[in-house]
């Protein structure tokens, strides 16, 4: 009997000896927060200049998943998390910023099993929009060294792990809306964010935000757009100054923006190119025709001396050029109308014949 007890005692002692140490989640987060504070002081000036140049918006369309398979709709079952980075299905390698936005051939990530409804490229990140339970969520993956400007040490935050990586889940009021976001450092000095901002009366979105984060995977679809700028754009829009591109999944709407503040927008036509009355009393509108296409000039004053935007209806699509926060001073309406009329639109929904960014924007 004594021999049996001695054997059991030795087994217990051995088990305690080899037991794995607990995962120090709080220590991981504190180290990440210290890195954030150190980097903010260094990159603050650079970010201020970079964000100032990215004021205007550009739209791009994101296609199917790699291999040409359409993305399935509907929420998936959350993938199982793992406490080990080895074999993790989530993001592991940092996303490196390209020398030019025109060099982006494919996204560096995808959101597996969720319906994608839009995509966007910016100077500091790649972004897609997905739907869970009829609500839209933004998924942002930042290039290495770029700061998402969201705190990973919010006092209201909940410590959580995404595929074994420490992150912070925050839910709080935000200027009359209800902000929910999950931020995690998926690689050294590289951040990912899932966020949702909506009316403050909605119920908690924490569960859905976590579902989206767990579905983020490395490797994304090709980036192609269904339009191409013509030669008339060359004197007005320099391709190397492109700062943002956005497009809806069905390619019905798109935007593109430049460092100069100029922006191009394409939407399905609802007015047939006719002026429909400005929403601002300080503006006036004038209808015109260019190459047989109806158009509208919107001005910031009644005598049309300062043009705010120019629209042209071509083949059922309303195309607009504007300057963010300022009139189109120094540009002739005829030249801007030439730019809009010269845009080529792909003849079908087959993404194989769409254009890469370098071709679309004349790079």
Q: What confidence category does residue 152 fall into, taking pLDDT thresholds of 50, 70 and 90?
A: low
What was the pLDDT predicted at 165? 92
The top-scoring range by mean pLDDT among 10-24, 31-45, 239-253 is 239-253
Phi, psi for residue 202 in degrees, rounded to 5: -75, 155
Q: Which residue has the higher pLDDT, 96 or 302?
A: 96
pLDDT per position as a tens digit, 221-239 = 999 999 999 988 888 899 9
Least-confidence region, from 23-32, 102-111, 237-246: 23-32
Q: Which of 73, 210, 201 is nearest to 131 (CA)?
A: 73
| pLDDT on residue 295 | 94
Q: Which of 95-99, 152-156, 302-306 has the highest mean pLDDT?
A: 95-99
Q: Mean pLDDT lowest for which of 145-159, 176-190, 239-253, 317-331?
A: 145-159
The confidence score (pLDDT) of residue 34 equals 41
Q: Which range is least confidently modeled, 94-98, 277-281, 288-292, 345-349?
A: 277-281
pLDDT tens profile 165-180: 999 999 887 777 788 9
**Structure pTM?**
0.72
Structure tokens at 53: 């140049």
Q: pLDDT band at residue 245, thresholds of 50, 70 and 90?
A: very high
Q: Is the pLDDT of residue 253 over 60?
A: yes
Closest C-alpha to 132, from 84, 76, 179: 76
pLDDT tens, position by position, 267-291: 998 766 568 654 444 458 889 999 9
- Report pLDDT digits (tens) over 34-60: 443 444 333 333 333 333 333 333 334
Give Rg (Cα) of the chain: 25
Distance between CA atoms of 100 and 71, rounded to whole angstroms? 28
The CA distance from 276 to 280, in Å, is 12
More confident residue, 34 or 187: 187
pLDDT for 150 equals 76
The domain segmentation of the chain, as residue ranges, is: 25-218, 227-360
What CA–CA distances, in Å, run from 214 to 23, 222, 324?
19, 22, 36
């Amino acid at each position: 009997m004594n021999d049996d007890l001695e054997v059991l005692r030795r087994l217990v002692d051995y088990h305690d000896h080899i037991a794995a140490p607990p995962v120090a989640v709080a220590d991981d987060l504190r180290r990440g927060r210290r890195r954030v504070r150190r980097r903010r002081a260094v990159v603050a000036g650079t970010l201020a200049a970079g964000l100032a140049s990215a004021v205007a918006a550009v739209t791009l369309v994101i296609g199917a998943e790699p291999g040409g398979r359409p993305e399935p709709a509907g929420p998936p079952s959350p993938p199982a998390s793992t406490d080990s980075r080895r074999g993790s299905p989530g993001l592991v390698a940092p996303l490196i910023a390209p020398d030019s936005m025109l060099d982006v051939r494919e996204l560096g990530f995808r959101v597996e099993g969720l319906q994608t409804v839009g995509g966007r490229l910016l100077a500091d990140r790649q972004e897609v929009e997905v739907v869970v339970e009829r609500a839209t969520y933004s998924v942002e993956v930042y290039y290495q060294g770029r700061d998402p400007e969201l705190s990973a040490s919010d006092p209201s935050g909940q410590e959580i792990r995404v595929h074994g990586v420490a992150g912070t889940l925050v839910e709080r009021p935000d200027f009359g809306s209800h902000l929910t976001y999950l931020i995690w450092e998926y690689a050294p000095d590289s951040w990912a964010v899932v966020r949702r901002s909506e009316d403050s009366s909605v119920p908690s979105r924490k569960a859905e935000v976590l579902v989206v984060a767990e579905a983020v995977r490395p490797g994304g679809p090709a980036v192609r757009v269904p339009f191409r700028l013509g030669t008339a754009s060359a004197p007005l829009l320099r391709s190397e100054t492109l700062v943002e591109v956005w497009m809806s999944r069905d390619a019905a709407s798109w935007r593109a923006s430049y460092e100069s503040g100029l922006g191009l927008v394409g939407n399905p036509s609802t007015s047939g190119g006719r002026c429909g009355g400005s929403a601002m009393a300080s503006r006036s509108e004038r209808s015109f025709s260019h190459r047989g296409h109806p158009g509208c000039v919107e001005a910031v004053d009644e005598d049309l001396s300062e043009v705010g935007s120019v629209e042209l209806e071509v083949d059922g699509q309303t195309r607009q050029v504007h300057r963010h926060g300022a009139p189109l001073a120094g540009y002739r309406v005829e030249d801007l109308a030439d730019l809009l009329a010269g845009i080529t639109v792909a003849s079908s929904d087959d993404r194989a014949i769409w254009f890469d960014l370098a071709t679309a924007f004349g790079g």
